[in-house]
């Protein structure tokens, strides 16, 4: 029973709210919040709660039976497909309603409406609501909604799902309201198909929204062309791409660089003096994932195995909701988004599918020249074009509404301007061109994958994915395995969009889109496996400019392991998903050991350096080596790059691989001296040994403090936490005992990592396992709130039960929810 800890946590939370004055307690008095009849006490569920219900809705076409197992995973059996989506919407709302609303309020730029202008020290108006609206999230969702609702399949899905969500909302009493509504003092509003579209755009931003246009522009302004190319390489040296080197690529469509590019765009070392904006927020840089599939030729069973673990923010409630859906058309199991119908990552009776982030840059910025301060017209191709305006009406709890007048140009919304985000005088106007602004229907990909039977069905399904670009893994019981680096990617000339582009000239527009059939892909490769871990999709023989940041080390580790494996079992794949070997450190250590002047070390410094020297190169929970390595390496990066970075007056920083690749080249005597170890601000000529000694000295107090506090072991130092979406500590799971980290296959970092681990063996009777860091119920007062978190941290998996209707009397069934016409 969770009543005592839940009430304690709730009272602590209320106390924190009052003490911190974060304006989270709204109109209702504190007495109402603690009312025995309607307050937080009602959200503390007894351990023997019964979720069974017999429900009737005249809009249904038939009957749907939903059986909940001992992990609260629903198994939906519907006579009609639309009724399955209705049931899914109802169930999502029943267990995750507040999460659904909070996420879509954020996407729509409506957090001030429920939280006020400030949350602690964070200005929600500028950093969230205006940011999302100026990015054009609502504009993009509205355009895609038209496409979604013009397709009969996705229109029917979304309508039924929305009806199910609203059926639950209409049944809610104040006592049944999720605890977050009570703490924040508001009530849910009706769901709509637009909210589903908003969530899909939110995911498009989270998975394909991290670009560095302003940072790169700032670096270009002060660095030479040579320095910029070395510090921001188009493709890193240690290639092990998703599509192997020996793949043949068809010639590219012609892309013409503007005649003025050398004078107007490639202005290396020519500081323009323009004030460049700093984006209020960006998706986490480590948003990525692992996925792979091995052919039956490499497995013990003789059938393919597909694996996927998307790396996203670790939140409670979880991003995912696990379930099975069976209709006359398909039987699918996996994880869904509480906000949208369908299964996103999973498997059906014939095949399995999973995704990783493709990391492609599909968002560019253009400088806009307005005729005057009214912004009523802007210069484009030598003529003044009329500006369109979108009036964003932002409600702010407890304060007057704010009207943000956003100018729209041929490129898109003018996201940054002097009057926004405190850019001040000298700032320019910057419009954003984002692929997600174009109409698309990603919902159709989910709908078709859920019922796919073979490779051709899979290929037809993923063609509906426009943004975010994803590496789509596939495996089928007929033996096929495949990978497509799928999305609608602009065909660019080299470095197009890496810097802010002139908006007065159409020659800087995206000239074309890479044809879908020319996206990197492979089916049934000779090596017997396909894999992706956010590395480059293809090597230098690929004829299109890719750009972006593509970490290699997880991909290299996975490919190295899969190449050597035979007679693979699902257990082997689980061990690989949770592997903690540090390939990055393996490559870095010889260079560091070679260059550390050990004779100059103090006894304390030598103590920690010895820990690093004898480390087994695994980021396991009890190891101390990764703590020393990470602290020293971070210090080394700061010492090497801080002088160059300071010149840019921005957040620009080279990729972590840039330093390692440079040191490896220099160490190997390849004739390219890595001169950046020298500090340009000092008269002395620093060497790597100087910098490395300084890095250890800088790291020493951090390491000594960690040891004194009992935090020198990796799990305690990294301190992984699964945070509630509001960041209220009482509703999170802190100090999780898990290894892994950056560049590790098990990519668990402080607040980011494997959000769903899945292994599917496509034997005649499918066998599958999975786990995610949370639980099915979004209510912190439920035993199902975080019941998977400890298993996830230990690297344990649950068998995924693909239930048959005739197994209704199985002891694993705990509750039944019946939907009747």
pLDDT digits over 749-767, tens only? 999 999 999 999 999 999 9
Average pLDDT, the chain: 91
Residue 252: CB partners within 8 Å, gap ≥ 6?
491, 518, 543, 544
Q: Is residue 487 part of a domain?
A: no
Is residue 503 a contact partner of residue 414, using CB atoms and an 8 Å limit?
A: no
* Inter-residue long-range contacts of 8-16, CB under 8 Å, 24+ positions, other chains counted: 9/730, 9/731, 9/780, 10/40, 10/43, 10/179, 10/183, 10/730, 10/780, 10/781, 12/730, 13/183, 13/728, 13/730, 13/731, 14/40, 14/183, 16/728, 16/729, 16/730
pLDDT digits over 394-439, tens only? 999 999 999 999 999 999 999 999 888 555 556 789 999 999 999 9
pTM (two decimals): 0.94
Q: What is the DSSP letter of 25?
A: S
Both tokens of residue 70? 């001992």
pLDDT digits over 652-663, tens only? 999 888 999 999
End-to-end CA distance of the chain: 35
Q: Is residue 622 part of a domain?
A: yes
Q: Looking at residue 275, what is its pLDDT? A: 82
Range of the domain at 639: 589-717
Q: Looking at residue 12, what is its pLDDT? A: 42
Half-sphere exposure at residue 339, Cβ-oriented, CA atoms within 13 angstroms: 24
The ranges of the chain with pLDDT < 50 are 1, 3-31, 33, 35-37, 41, 669-672
Q: Is residue 611 part of a domain?
A: yes
Is residue 819 a contact partner of residue 87, using CB atoms and an 8 Å limit?
A: yes
Q: Which of 140, 153, 136 lies closest to 200 in space, CA to CA?
A: 140
Q: What is the DSSP letter of 232?
A: S
Residue 721: CB partners within 8 Å, gap ≥ 6?
314, 732, 733, 734, 735, 736, 750, 751
Q: Looking at residue 122, what is its pLDDT? A: 85
Q: Is residue 305 part of a domain?
A: no
The 3-state secondary structure of 281-337 reads CCCCCCCEEEEEEECHHHECCCCCEEEEEEEEECEECCCCEEEEEECCCCEEEEEEC
Residue for token pair 């984006």: 279
What's the rounded Cα separation, in Å, for the pair 752 and 719?
11
Q: Which of 471, 464, 506, 509 lies closest to 490 in space, CA to CA?
A: 509
Question: In whole angstroms, what separates CA 726 from the centre of its chain?
Answer: 18
Work out whether the CA dihedral 697, 698, 702, 705 comes out positive or negative: positive
- Count of domains observed in the chain: 1
What's the rounded Cα separation, in Å, for the pair 741 and 755?
14
Q: Which of 59, 73, 91, 100 lies closest to 802 in space, CA to CA?
A: 73
Q: Is residue 67 part of a domain?
A: no
Strand locations in 15-98 (E): 53-56, 64-69, 74-78
The number of beta carbons lying within 10 Å of the beta carbon of residue 540 is 12
Q: Looking at residue 606, what is its pLDDT? A: 98
What's the rounded Cα separation, in Å, for the pair 264 and 192?
46
Q: Looking at residue 21, what is its pLDDT? A: 37
The number of beta carbons lying within 10 Å of the beta carbon of residue 285 is 14
Q: Looking at residue 272, what is its pLDDT? A: 77
Instruction: Tell me the C-alpha to C-alpha distance, in Å, between residue 479 and each of 297, 409, 453, 567, 647.
Output: 9, 50, 12, 15, 55
Q: Looking at residue 206, what is its pLDDT? A: 85
Please report the DSSP string for 741-808 in residue order: -TTSSS---SSEEES-EEEEE-SSS-EEEEE-SS-S---TTSTTSSTTHHHHHHT--EE-----GGGT
Q: Looking at residue 252, what is its pLDDT? A: 75
Residue for token pair 């700061």: 638
What's the rounded Cα separation, in Å, for the pair 535 and 551?
5
Q: What are residue 167's DSSP bridge partners?
A: none
Residue 254: CB partners within 8 Å, gap ≥ 6?
none
Is residue 806 a contact partner of residue 798, using CB atoms and an 8 Å limit?
A: no
Is residue 468 a contact partner of residue 358, using CB atoms and an 8 Å limit?
A: yes
Q: Which of 430, 493, 499 lies closest to 214 in space, CA to CA?
A: 499
Is residue 200 a contact partner of residue 443, using CB atoms and an 8 Å limit?
A: yes
Q: Is residue 702 part of a domain?
A: yes
Burial of 482 (0-12, 13-18, 19+ CB in 10 A): buried
Is residue 321 a contact partner of residue 92, using CB atoms and an 8 Å limit?
A: yes
Q: Is residue 712 part of a domain?
A: yes
pLDDT digits over 200-244, tens only? 999 999 886 578 999 999 999 999 999 999 999 887 656 789 998
Q: Looking at residue 451, what is its pLDDT? A: 98
Q: Is residue 341 part of a domain?
A: no
Of all residues in the chain, what percent are helix, strand and coil, respectively (each to 5)? Answer: 35, 20, 45
Is residue 95 a contact partner of residue 777, using CB atoms and an 8 Å limit?
A: yes
Q: Which of 449, 454, 451, 450 lies closest to 486 in space, CA to CA?
A: 449
Both tokens of residue 142? 């509205």
Q: Looking at residue 698, what is its pLDDT? A: 98
């Amino acid at each position: 029973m969770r009543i005592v800890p839940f009430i304690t946590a709730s009272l602590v939370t209320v106390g924190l709210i009052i003490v911190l004055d974060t304006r989270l307690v709204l109109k209702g008095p504190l007495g109402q919040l603690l009312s025995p009849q309607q307050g937080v006490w009602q959200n503390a569920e007894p351990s023997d709660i019964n979720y069974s219900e017999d429900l009737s809705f005249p809009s249904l076409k038939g009957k749907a039976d939903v059986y909940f197992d001992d992990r609260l995973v629903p198994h939906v059996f519907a006579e009609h497909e639309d009724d399955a989506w209705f049931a899914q919407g109802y169930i999502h709302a029943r267990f995750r309603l507040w999460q659904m609303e909070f996420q879509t309020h954020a996407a729509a730029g409506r957090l001030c409406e429920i939280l006020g202008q400030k949350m602690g020290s964070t200005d929600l108006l500028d950093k969230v609501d205006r940011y999302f609206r100026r990015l054009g999230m609502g504009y993009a969702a509205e355009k895609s909604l038209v496409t979604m609702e013009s397709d009969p399949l996705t229109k029917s899905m979304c309508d039924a799902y929305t009806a199910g969500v609203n059926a639950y909302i209409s049944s809610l009493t104040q006592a049944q309201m999720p605890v977050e509504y009570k703490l924040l003092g508001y009530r849910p509003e009706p769901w709509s198909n637009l909210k589903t579209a908003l969530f899909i755009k939110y995911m498009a931003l989270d998975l394909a929204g991290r670009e560095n246009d302003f940072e790169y522009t700032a670096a270009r302004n002060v660095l030479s062309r040579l320095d910029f190319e070395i510090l921001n390489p188009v493709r890193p040296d240690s290639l092990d791409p998703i599509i192997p080197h020996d793949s043949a690529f068809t010639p590219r469509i012609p892309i013409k660089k503007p005649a003025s590019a050398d004078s107007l765009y490639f202005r290396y070392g020519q500081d323009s003096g323009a004030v460049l904006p700093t984006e209020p927020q960006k998706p986490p840089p480590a948003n990525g994932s692992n996925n792979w599939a091995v052919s039956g030729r490499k497995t013990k069973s003789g059938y393919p195995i597909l694996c996927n673990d998307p790396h996203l923010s670790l939140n409670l409630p979880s991003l995912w909701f696990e379930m099975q859906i069976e209709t006359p058309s398909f039987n699918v199991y996996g994880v869904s988004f509480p906000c949208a119908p369908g299964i996103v990552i999973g498997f059906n009776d014939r095949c399995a599918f999973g995704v990783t982030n493709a990391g492609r840059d599909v968002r560019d910025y253009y400088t806009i020249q307005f005729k005057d301060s009214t912004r009523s017209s802007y210069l484009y191709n030598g003529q003044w074009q009329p500006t369109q305006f979108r009036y964003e009406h932002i409600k702010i709890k407890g304060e007057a509404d704010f009207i943000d007048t956003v100018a729209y140009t041929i490129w898109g919304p003018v996201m940054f301007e002097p009057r926004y985000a405190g850019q001040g005088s000298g700032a320019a106007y910057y419009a954003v061109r984002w692929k997600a602004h174009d109409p698309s229907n990603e919902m159709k990909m989910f709908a078709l994958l859920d019922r796919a039977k073979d490779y051709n069905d899979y290929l037809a399904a993923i063609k509906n994915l426009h943004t975010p670009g994803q590496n789509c893994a596939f495996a089928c019981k007929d033996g096929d395995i495949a990978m497509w680096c799928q999305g609608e990617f602009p065909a660019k000339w080299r470095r197009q969009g890496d810097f802010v582009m002139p908006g007065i000239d159409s020659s800087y527009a995206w000239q074309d889109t890479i044809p879908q059939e020319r996206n990197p892909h492979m089916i049934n490769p000779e090596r017997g496996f396909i894999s992706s871990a956010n590395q480059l999709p293809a090597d230098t023989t690929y004829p299109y400019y890719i750009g972006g940041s593509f970490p290699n080390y997880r991909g290299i580790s996975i490919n190295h392991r899969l190449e050597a494996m035979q007679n693979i079992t699902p257990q082997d794949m689980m061990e690989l998903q949770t592997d903690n070997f540090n390939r990055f450190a393996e490559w870095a250590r010889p260079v560091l050991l070679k260059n550390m002047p050990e004779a100059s070390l103090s006894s304390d410094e030598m103590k920690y350096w010895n820990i690093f020297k004898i480390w087994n190169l695994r980021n396991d929970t009890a190891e101390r080596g990764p703590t020393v390595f990470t602290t020293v390496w971070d210090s080394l990066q700061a010492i090497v790059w801080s002088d160059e970075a300071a010149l840019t007056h921005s957040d620009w920083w080279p990729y972590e691989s840039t330093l390692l690749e440079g040191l490896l080249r220099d160490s190997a005597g390849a004739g390219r001296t890595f001169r950046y170890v020298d500090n340009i601000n000092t008269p002395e000529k620093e060497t790597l040994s100087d910098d490395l000694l300084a890095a250890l000295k800088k790291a020493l107090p951090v390491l000594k403090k960690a040891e004194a506090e009992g935090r020198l072991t990796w799990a305690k130092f990294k301190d992984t936490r699964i945070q509630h979406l509001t960041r209220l500590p009482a509703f999170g799971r802190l100090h999780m005992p898990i290894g892994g980290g950056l560049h590790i296959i098990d990519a668990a970092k402080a607040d980011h990592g494997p959000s769903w681990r899945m292994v599917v063996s496509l034997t005649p009777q499918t066998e599958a396992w999975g786990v995610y860091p949370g639980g099915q119920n979004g209510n912190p007062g439920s035993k199902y709130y975080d019941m998977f978190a400890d298993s996830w941290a230990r690297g344990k998996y649950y068998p995924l039960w693909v239930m048959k209707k005739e197994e209704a009397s199985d002891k694993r069934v705990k509750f039944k929810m019946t939907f009747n016409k």
